[in-house]
A = this chain, B = another copy of it.
């Protein structure tokens, strides 16, 4: 790794090597996890390169390849598994200067990866009355490139499923990390080779995403003094094919009373909250449906709202934002990502609640998985020790609830604990030296890894 030579080769580009700035841009939301906080606190790159176009991306990759400098791509660094942490140092390839919308058509938008998602959404709305099918709850700060490379779904998944489902990404263009970088386009099934690969096998330089019609979503909060009924209501609503929802979140009591500051006076410690986004033309149907659940109180609707301080978009109380709000109030909170599936999914949630009592607070997101309604549990956990956290995960698994461990920084451990052969095989072609975001793909480093303990990347700079 010859940092100095790489920097010299790139001195005509926008480079930042001010140590404080480099350190800031080397950090993402890894600290969200007490486990990762411990492991990754010291990590930093050597310099930041900010390409203005694809050609500059190629120049940076060529120079870093020549001088064996690791390259970790960064969107906005909101990834909460440490995906964007440069474990072996080297270059942070920061995408903020590549933020153009390339083109909009019915059902499609093409953009550069560095654009902030909410800005992209604003532009597609303004120009075509269309919006992204789905976005992370961090849409206000995250980039579309970071979403495609590090995200999995979110706001909109209740209708459209996961980000990587067929049709939810249309095209990804990547630059490879070779002596002479190539530019390749991926579509259809081949998208799986580079999407959600944490930038370990290519740098995304352009993305084409499908669009849905844009609506002035009505943001809604309901309160119910009974979590089970709240969960059932949210599920039943999500199952109504004719009611257009973009979000169906359930936060068990006392999440709202304790962690959602602007809810004070509107909820008690006993109230669970359902957060929804409903299309305006579905409001009549929604309200009729709602009337069947006498326990539900409509405490907020953004189209007719008298709260002195507006709570902001409903989705900033859903997905990982629920956890973020909890952590802000109580730094000892952490979380899990549980998959509740099957016709008895609410029974599984009930069994977990009964088993753990107050140690966990339930938070469910309803979403479709291969056409079937399932729930993601972004469960809040009163954190004590890493050992107890691992035990909680094991108990979930023993009770038939799969956990995607958000306290790991590798692709495999945050997923299904298996290698994605399509990603690995493409990394062999696109990054033969293994310089892209090193340490994030176990299959590359240690094909024999058995997952009996947390992976600890040997090349991590200490």
Chain A residues in contact with chain B, CB under 8 A? 106-108, 129-130, 133, 159-162, 165-168, 170-171, 187-190, 210-216, 238-244, 279-282, 284-289, 291, 368-373
Contacts and interface: CB of A to CB of B under 8 A. Distances in A.
Contacts of A133: 242
A170 B241 contact: no
Contact of A213 (B162, B213, B282): B213
Contacts of A281: 106-108, 167, 170, 210-211
Given A166-B288, A213-B213, A288-B189, A371 B238 contact: yes
Given A166-B240, A188-B288, A287-B188, A215 B106 contact: yes
Contacts of A288: 166, 187-190
Nearest to A370: B239
A188 B370 contact: no
16 contacts: A106-B215, A106-B280, A129-B129, A130-B213, A166-B285, A167-B284, A171-B284, A188-B284, A188-B288, A210-B244, A210-B282, A212-B213, A241-B368, A241-B371, A371-B373, A372-B373
| Copies of this polypeptide in the complex | 2
Contacts of A284: 167, 170-171, 187-188
Given A165-B241, A167-B244, A285 B188 contact: yes
A241 B106 contact: no
Contact of A239 (B106, B285, B287, B372): B372
A187 B289 CA distance: 12
A161 B213 contact: no
Contacts of A242: 133, 160-162, 165-168, 210
Contacts of A159: 241
Given A161-B241, A372-B373, 10 more contacts: A106-B213, A129-B129, A130-B213, A165-B241, A166-B242, A166-B285, A167-B240, A167-B281, A170-B284, A210-B282
B239 A107 contact: no
A165 B240 contact: yes
Nearest to A239: B371
B167 A243 contact: yes
A316 to B, nearest CB: 24
B167 A282 contact: yes
Contacts of A289: 166, 189
Contacts of A188: 284-285, 287-288, 291
Nearest to A235: B371
A370 B236 CA distance: 8
A94 B108 CA distance: 43
Contacts of A280: 106-107
A308 to B, nearest CB: 30
A371 to B, nearest CB: 3
Nearest to A163: B242
Nearest to A245: B167
A272 B213 CA distance: 35
A297 B380 CA distance: 49
A160 B360 CA distance: 36
Nearest to A165: B242
Contacts of A212: 213
Contacts of A286: 166-167
A254 B133 CA distance: 39
A288 to B, nearest CB: 3
B161 A370 contact: no
